[in-house]
Amino acid sequence: MNTGQHTRQMTELGRAEALRLLGSVELGRIVFTADALPAIRPVNHILDDGDVIIRSHTGAALTSSINAVVAYEADDIDPDTHIGWSVVVTGIARKVTDPDAIARYEQLLTPWADQHMDQVLRIHPEFITGFTLTDGTVGR
Amino acid sequence: MNTGQHTRQMTELGRAEALRLLGSVELGRIVFTADALPAIRPVNHILDDGDVIIRSHTGAALTSSINAVVAYEADDIDPDTHIGWSVVVTGIARKVTDPDAIARYEQLLTPWADQHMDQVLRIHPEFITGFTLTDGTVGR
């Protein structure tokens, strides 16, 4: 049996801790369906009142996620030690339409890519799951 | 307009370069449909003859991806400089059934999590897409 030097203990995360970790990073990946195929795209995000806020642009494949159930994932797993975490939230992606909210989010959330981003999307998590990978010795 | 200090130039990757980058890292994320919902799970991978090889276990949600179209994504984007890349391959996930192939992959690919992984999945890319984020000054 190949156990490996860096096989880590996987532990499920609670909702609050999972959201805290998601809010501790800026980059995640939105998972959606485009032309009936599974699709994924890295984007940067902020958390606002427990919702995930991202920016997109009209014409992007991502537009097909609007009013559909999407998953949003972030992780931080060290490639050498294999220690880290992953969080996935699942919920409906809605286009933010309130001009004041859009203006506020555009201030708070600068796209990393030089794309014209004219849409703001909000994902309200219905499900929040996550796990940590640890060395399994802490507190044991 | 909020351009941001670290807004980067996005450039599409060719197929060969995208595969090379995917093979340069060990961690990726498989994107699939489970119970009619978009699902994503980080896993470690190897590339074998241009196919993505991952391990899973019977009973995992991931099992629902077998013989279905999945996406597999990896990225390496610096959270400070916003420079990096992302690659997505899309194809059908097939269970590897040949005992010799299974034995070889189990030697080459040690799961990072302490889960009993009794399945080996192979994703043959039908589509390969990717992009780089650069500072836009090199070669210009």
Contacts of A68 (CB under 8 A, 6+ apart): A32, A33, A92, A93
Select the residue from A29, A64, A106, A116 to test the B interface by mutation, using most B Cβ atoms within 10 A: A29
Q: Report A:53-92 residues touching B (Cβ under 8 A).
A: 69-71, 73, 75, 77, 79, 82, 86, 88, 90
CB pairs < 8 Å spanning A and B:
121
Of A7, A26, A79, the CB nearest to B26: A79
- Chain B positions touching A88 (Cβ under 8 A) are 39-41
> Is residue A46 within 8 angstroms of chain B, CB to CB?
no
R_g over Cα of chain B? 17
pLDDT digits (tens, 9 = 90+) for B55-82: 988 777 888 889 999 999 999 999 999 9
B52 vs B72: CA distance, rounded Å: 8
H helices of A5-126, where? 15-23, 99-108
pLDDT tens-digit series, residues A84-105: 999 999 999 999 999 999 999 9
Residue A58 pLDDT > 70, yes or no? yes
| Distance between A122 CA and the closest CA of chain B, angstroms | 17
* Residue B98: partners with Cβ closer than 8 Å, 6 or more residues away: none
Strand (E) or helix (H) holding B23: helix B15-23
Determine contact: B6 vs chain A, CB below 8 A.
yes
Position B3 scores a pLDDT of 45
Average pLDDT over residues A13-33: 97
The rounded mean pLDDT for chain A is: 91
Q: Indicate which of B6, B11, B25, B31 best probes the interface with A, i.e. most A CBs within 10 Å of its own CB.
A: B31
Distance from CA of A139 to the nearest CA of B (A): 18
Please indicate whether, in this complex, the C-beta atoms of A71 and B40 are within 8 angstroms of each other: yes
Quickly tell me which residue has 């890519």 as its tokens: A113
Contact at CB, B70 and A32, closer than 8 angstroms: no
Query: Could you tell me the domains of chain A?
Result: 27-133 (2.30.110.10)
Condensed to tens digits (0 to 9), the pLDDT of residues A61-86 reads: 888 899 999 999 999 999 999 999 99
Supply the ipTM of this predicted assembly. Answer: 0.91
Q: Which of A27, A79, A106 sits opposite B25 (nearest CB)?
A: A79
